Structure 1
Amino acid sequence: MKIIILLLCSMFGLVTPTIENDRDRWKPYYLDVAPNKVADNWFLPFESNNRKSVKSIKIISIFGDHRDSYYKGHIHTAIDINPAQPKSRLIPVLAMAAGVVCSIHLGENQKTVVVKHKLKNGSTMFTSYKHLKEVYVKNGQQVDEKTKLARLFTSAESKKYGGDYHHLHLEIRKKFDDYGCGSWLTMNNTQLNERFYNPQNFIKANIK
Structure 2
Amino acid sequence: MKLLLFPMLLLWLAPDLPMTIERDKDRWKPYYTATAPVAVASTWYLPFDVANRKDPKQIKVVSIFGDHRDSYLKGHVHTAIDINPLKPKSKLVSVYPMAKGIVCSVHLGENQRTVVLKHKLPNGKFIFTSYKHLKEVYVSNGQQVDENVKIARLFTPAESRKYGGDYHHLHLEIRKSFDDYGCASWLTMNKQQLDLRFFNPLVFIKENLKP
Q: TM-score range by the shorter chain?
A: over 0.9
Which aligned pairs between 1:82-101 and structure 2 lie closer than 5 A? 82-101=84-103
2:137 maps to amino acid:
V
Conserved 8 A contact 1:43-1:97: yes
Residues of 2 paired with 1:67 and 1:193: CA distance? 17
1:159 maps to amino acid:
R
CA apart distance, 1:106 = 4.0
Shift >3 Å, 4+ stretches: 7-10
- The aligned counterpart of 1:64 is 66
CA apart distance, 1:8 = 5.2
Conserved 8 A contact 1:39-1:117: yes
CA apart distance, 1:66 = 1.2
CA apart distance, 1:15 = 2.5
Residues of 2 paired with 1:20 and 1:206: CA distance? 32
1:45 maps to amino acid:
P
Q: Cα 1:152–1:8, aligned 2, differ >3 Å: closer, same or farther?
A: farther
1:97 maps to amino acid:
A
Conserved 8 A contact 1:101-1:139: yes
Which aligned pairs between 1:139-150 and structure 2 lie closer than 5 A? 139-150=141-152
Conserved 8 A contact 1:72-1:186: no
Q: Secondary structure at the match of 2:22?
A: helix
Residues of 2 paired with 1:9 and 1:31: CA distance? 30
Residues of 2 paired with 1:44 and 1:99: CA distance? 14
Q: Structure 2: which 5+ runs fail to align?
A: none
- The aligned counterpart of 2:105 is 103
- CA deviations over 1:31-64 (Å, ceiling 9, x no partner): 0011000000000000011001111100000000
1:5 maps to amino acid:
L
- The aligned counterpart of 1:3 is 7
Q: Secondary structure at the match of 1:156?
A: helix
Q: Secondary structure at the match of 2:82?
A: strand
- The aligned counterpart of 2:192 is 190
- CA deviations over 1:68-123 (Å, ceiling 9, x no partner): 12212211000000000010111000000000000001412110000000000100
- The aligned counterpart of 2:140 is 138
2:207 maps to amino acid:
A
- Between the two proteins, the alignment pairs up a number of residues equal to 206
TM-score by length of 1: 0.95
Across the aligned residues of Structure 1 and Structure 2, the Cα RMSD in angstroms comes to 1.3
- The aligned counterpart of 1:16 is 18
CA apart distance, 1:186 = 3.9
CA apart distance, 1:24 = 0.2
- The aligned counterpart of 1:161 is 163
Q: Secondary structure at the match of 2:151?
A: strand
Residues of 1 paired with 2:191 and 2:7: CA distance? 27
Q: Secondary structure at the match of 1:5?
A: helix
CA apart distance, 1:4 = 2.4
- The aligned counterpart of 2:55 is 53
Residues of 2 paired with 1:82 and 1:92: CA distance? 10
Q: Structure 1: which 5+ runs fail to align?
A: none
Residues of 2 paired with 1:37 and 1:133: CA distance? 28
